[in-house]
Amino acid sequence: MDQGYLILETGEVFEGKIIGNIQDCIGEVVFNTSMTGYQEMMTDPSYSGQILTFCYPLIGNYGINLSDDESKKVSVAGVIIGDACEKPSHYLATKSLSIQLQEAGISGLTGVDTRSLVQSIRKSGTVKGVITTVPSYNKTTLAEYESPFWVEKVSTKEAVTYNNNGPHVVLIDFGYKKSILDALLQENCKVTVVPYHFTYNQVKSLHPDGVLLSNGPGDPMELQGQFEEIKKVTQNYPTLGICLGHQLVALSYGAITEKLTYGHRGGNHAVKELLTGKVRMTSQNHSYVVMEESINYEELIITYRNVNDKTVEGIKHRKYPVTSVQFHPEAHPGPSDTAHIFTEFLQQISSLGAVNYAIK
């Protein structure tokens, strides 16, 4: 393996060995604390344009299989690993992680002191970086790098329908994970996945019983042109927002979002359900949060709160059947403590008389 380097815009340099594609790649350097689920993470569209650091030291030990991808391609810009396993051991494995990266044209760096790197990110905040084969890099090029509008790149280009016998849910695709679609299909829903820019009238023409706003990459303010359309959708259909979808619901009702210092990414984030007082373990992957002081309490209620930093993790509308959560109830990877949110969403649809299907 060739010598490689991760160079941060702060000037810090971390050495390792190149795996996957030998080509410079620039991105926002983030980290995830999960012990498993690297395949799901690498194919999660929410990581588009980001260089993902795995905190767990050994990555790739169970290989890559044919069923755990969350999208049709690897989404990360690059990966940083402490120790990449080249000889995976699992009966479902079809290839190693490094071969997956090579086939996808993605650069990775192994043999890195990831503990030191994470400590640096936690101290200085999320920074841009480059994976390269040379120990120096043009700092101006790195500092001036601007991410493209990733939602447009990862969203479906046309409506796709998955037929079923239950309620019809329109899934507005800002970069959805396959597991969200699977969760709806398992509840017997008919699902139509539509592009991120669908208007209220276009959604209405599909005659849905409910609407789900998906997760996705980037700053939610890049989608401000959709706020009014999203608000119209929520005022006319039972709506569930997940991750980026949660932020878009809040923004559509006048709230403000801000970027966290280094985000929430991992499979063990504790959130408190304010109605019951129960604490749930959740899977999370986001940089932005809804600012509590910006919420209009005449319209919205906070339903979940992060146990660690007290940030807003869920809201619902006082009048309309609209709920949203910052975490991932479908998990993958992570715990399924909050999978009931999908059932509650379908119960909302049923209670309004839009459909008369038995809820599992």
Catalytic member of 246, 264, 328, 332: 328
- Indicate the DSSP class of residue 281: E
- Annotated binding residue at 216? yes
> CA 95, CA 292: separation in Å to the nearest integer?
45
The verdict on whether residue 202 carries a ligand-binding annotation is no
Catalytic option among 28, 40, 70, 330: 330
3-class state of residue 78 by DSSP? strand
Taking each continuous run of H as one helix and of E as one strand, the counts in the chain are: 10, 19
> Catalytic residue at 328?
yes
Dist CA 151 CA 223 (whole Å) = 9
Of 40, 243, 246, 313, the active-site residue reads 243
Q: Give the up-direction half-sphere exposure of residue 353: CA atoms within 13 A in the CB hemisphere.
A: 0
Rg of the chain over all Cα atoms, to the nearest angstrom? 20
* H helix or E strand, kind and range, residue 264: strand 257-273
Contact between 98 and 20 (Cβ < 8 Å): yes
Sheet holding 190-195, edge to edge: 160-162, 190-195, 168-173, 210-213, 239-242, 322-325, 312-317, 300-306, 257-273, 279-290
* Contact yes or no for 302/295 (Cβ under 8 A): yes
Question: Is 46 annotated as belonging to a binding site?
Answer: yes
Q: Which helix (H) or strand (E) holds 153?
A: helix 150-154
CA distance 47 to 30: 9
Active-site annotation holds for 330: yes
- 129 among the known binding-site residues? no
Q: Is 244 annotated as a binding residue?
A: yes
Binding site residue list for L-glutamine:
46, 216, 218, 244, 247, 285, 288
Binding site residue list:
46, 216, 218, 244, 247, 285, 288
Catalytic residues: 243, 328, 330
